[in-house]
């Protein structure tokens, strides 16, 4: 996993990068405000070269699921 991606994603959720591991959990769809959604779409596009829609990832329960989703879309 790209360290820069982790650092930038940690900023979106206002946590330390060390806290951002595959088991970092999201509080369901309510944890995704509009800034977090737009930022996540941009970061995934930048680092994985795939475009996700909000409906693709807002139901991910943890960071690991989001990474799997992005990697799966890249492999498609």
pLDDT recorded at residue 64: 95
In 27-73, the DSSP E strands lie at none
Domain total of the chain = 1
Q: Per residue in 17-61, pLDDT tens?
A: 999 999 999 887 778 899 999 999 999 999 999 999 999 998 899
Q: Which domain holds residue 55?
A: 3-75
Domain of residue 31, CATH code: 1.10.1200
Supply the pTM of this predicted model: 0.88
For 64, the 3-state DSSP assignment is helix
């Amino acid at each position: 996993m790209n360290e820069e991606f982790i650092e930038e994603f940690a900023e979106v959720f206002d946590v330390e990068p060390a806290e951002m591991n595959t088991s970092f959990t999201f509080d369901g769809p309510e944890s995704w405000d509009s800034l977090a959604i737009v930022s996540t779409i941009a970061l995934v596009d930048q680092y994985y070269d795939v475009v996700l829609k909000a409906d693709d990832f807002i139901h991910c329960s943890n960071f690991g699921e989001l990474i799997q989703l992005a990697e799966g879309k890249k492999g498609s």
